[in-house]
Amino acid sequence: MDALSPKKQPIALYPGTFDPVTLGHLDIIRRGARIFDHLIIAVAENPGKSPLFSSEERASMIRHEISRLENPTKSRIEVIIYNSLLMDCVESQGASVILRGLRAVADFEYEYQMAGMNQQINNKIETIFLMADSVLQPVASRLVKEIAFYNGNITPFVPPHVAQKLQEAVTRKKSFQD
Ligand code: ADP
């Protein structure tokens, strides 16, 4: 490459199920937007995971939290929904970086395997990991849903708007079970 030509800023894509978005995810989003000029949060439909919230609801909760951030961080972030192979989504969005969060040992094996397979599909796309914040390390959507289901306190793990949506969803789910 010509040493004098300006380097193009990569577009990063942060994929996930976000069922629902937690303070851990939001920390990765905030930090990611400090590094990349354009960060696309890609909400996976992921029907295989039987999410509690629809992809539209999950995206809408993320958009709500993004709207509360300040500029320029806010203006750098976009939220989309995808229902395809991740690498196809990355390419169609013109991204060259996949951003993922890494929580201690729990995530490592799965993330390592996924990054390796994605690299074999397209080696021009790099996966970059941000280490989870030490305080938010234990936060996982699955556990938050479980705590909410048993009426536990979820306020240390999700923003208030998400906590409210979770309580509504849990009440709905319980009423179906009665
Ligand atoms: P997926 O189904 O793709 O694993 P998740 O919504 O569970 O979707 O997670 C999306 C990404 O966010 C993953 O890289 C995961 O490791 C990361 N993540 C989840 N919770 C946290 C957290 N508390 N701190 C940092 N990263 C997290």
Q: Which of 124, 116, 148, 125 is nearest to 52 (CA)?
A: 148
| Distance, C-alpha 100 to centroid of its chain | 8
Query: What letter would DSSP give residue 156?
Result: T
Phi first, then psi: give them for residue 44, nearest 5 degrees.
Answer: -80, 135
Q: Could you read off the pLDDT of 32-76 as tens digits, one per residue? A: 999 999 999 999 998 888 999 999 999 999 999 999 999 989 999
Q: What is the mean pLDDT of residues 73-99?
A: 96
Which member of 55, 58, 141, 145 is catalytic?
141
Catalytic residue check, 103:
yes
Out of 13, 14, 23, 28, give the residue to mutate to test ligand 1, the one with the largest number of ligand atoms within 8 Å of its CB: 28
CA of 29 to the centre of ligand 1 (A): 11
Q: pTM to 2 decimals?
A: 0.94
101 Cβ closer than 6 Å to some ligand 1 atom: yes
25 in catalytic set:
yes
- Give distance in angstroms: CA of 6 to centre of ligand 1: 33
Nearest atom, ligand 1, residue 133 CA:
24
Q: Is the CB of 25 under 6 A from ligand 1?
A: yes
Q: What CATH code is assigned to 11-134?
A: 3.40.50.620
Answer left, alpha or beta for residue 79, where phi above 0 means left and psi between -120 and 50 means alpha. Answer: beta
> What's the CA-to-centroid distance between 100 and ligand 1, angstroms?
7
- Tens digits of per-residue pLDDT, 96-154? 999 999 998 778 899 999 999 999 999 999 999 999 999 999 999 999 999 999 999 99
